[in-house]
């Protein structure tokens, strides 16, 4: 059921973005690139980000449909050829790709979990490494990545969250507040 819901959500998001994308394409020759980027961030990115912590970890084949659409939009904004490689374009604009937006949103979510700032039922979904073993490691207070029996279960937020949190460089996880974490991790994602 959850898998079908995620697939439907991505399809609805694609449809919404498609209509906005067409409008942006019509005005791209009239507006400067910076204004186009602002319009993208105001009109398209919120649709991509909506619920991304839930659906962003689903099967790549579903997420790729949205990623391809996002790449087309970025090529439009930058007036690039239809087959131009988009990594440099995203980096130049300072815009995160769908999978990077997912990682950034999950990092903010897990930051709150690690600080016990989420509602109790959500915090209770995650056990710290110290509750599993007593080893003195740098990761001892971080959420434990639990074993999942099925591939579908490994895509869920209570598994993907700790997995993504573990990938984040240690110095970024030490951020004092969520604003600093967001800024430094976004910069890291754009550069890597």
121-134 pLDDT per residue, tens: 777 766 654 555 45
CA distances from 152 to 155, 157, 163, 165 (A): 5, 11, 15, 19
Q: Which two tokens stand for residue 88?
A: 């440099």
Q: Which of 45-49, 59-63, 113-117 has the highest mean pLDDT?
A: 45-49
The pLDDT, as a whole number, for residue 1 is 46
What ranges in 78-156 are assigned the alpha helix state H? 87-93, 98-114, 120-123, 129-132
The pLDDT, as a whole number, for residue 190 is 95
- The residues that bridge with 128 in the sheet, in sequence order, are 143
Q: Percent of the chain at pLDDT above 90? A: 54
135 pLDDT band, cuts 50/70/90, is: low
The whole-angstrom separation of Cα 95 and Cα 70 is 10
Selection from 91, 86, 77 nearest residue 38 by Cα: 77
The whole-angstrom separation of Cα 112 and Cα 106 is 10
Evaluate whether 40 touches 21 at the Cβ level (below 8 Å). Answer: no
Overall average pLDDT of the 64-78 stretch: 95
Selection from 107, 111, 91 nearest residue 56 by Cα: 107
142 pLDDT band, cuts 50/70/90, is: low
Give the H or E element holding residue 185: helix 178-191
What count of other Cβ atoms lies within 10 Å of the Cβ of residue 153?
13
Q: Which two tokens stand for residue 154?
A: 């490994």
Selection from 3, 85, 94, 87 nearest residue 40 by Cα: 94
Q: Which of 22-26, 67-71, 165-169 has the highest mean pLDDT?
A: 67-71
Model confidence, pTM? 0.82
Evaluate whether 107 touches 181 at the Cβ level (below 8 Å). Answer: yes
Overall average pLDDT of the 59-81 stretch: 93
pLDDT of residue 136 exceeding 70? no
């Amino acid at each position: 059921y959850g898998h079908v819901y995620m697939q439907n959500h991505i399809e609805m998001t694609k449809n919404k973005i498609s209509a906005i994308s067409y409008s942006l394409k019509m005005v791209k020759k009239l507006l400067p690139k910076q204004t186009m980027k602002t319009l993208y961030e105001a009109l398209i990115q919120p649709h991509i980000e909506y619920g991304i912590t839930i659906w962003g970890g689903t099967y790549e084949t579903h997420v790729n449909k949205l990623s391809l659409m996002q790449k087309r939009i970025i090529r439009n904004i930058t007036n690039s050829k239809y087959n131009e490689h988009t990594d440099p374009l995203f980096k130049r604009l300072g815009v995160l790709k769908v999978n990077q937006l997912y990682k950034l949103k999950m990092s903010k979510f897990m930051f709150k979990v690690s600080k016990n700032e989420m509602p109790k039922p959500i915090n209770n979904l995650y056990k710290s490494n110290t509750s599993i073993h007593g080893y003195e490691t740098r990761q001892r207070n971080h959420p434990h990545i639990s074993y999942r029996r099925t591939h579908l279960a490994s895509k869920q937020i209570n598994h993907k969250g700790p997995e993504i949190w573990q990938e984040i460089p240690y110095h970024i996880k030490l951020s004092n507040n969520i604003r600093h974490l967001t800024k430094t991790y976004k910069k890291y994602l754009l550069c890597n």
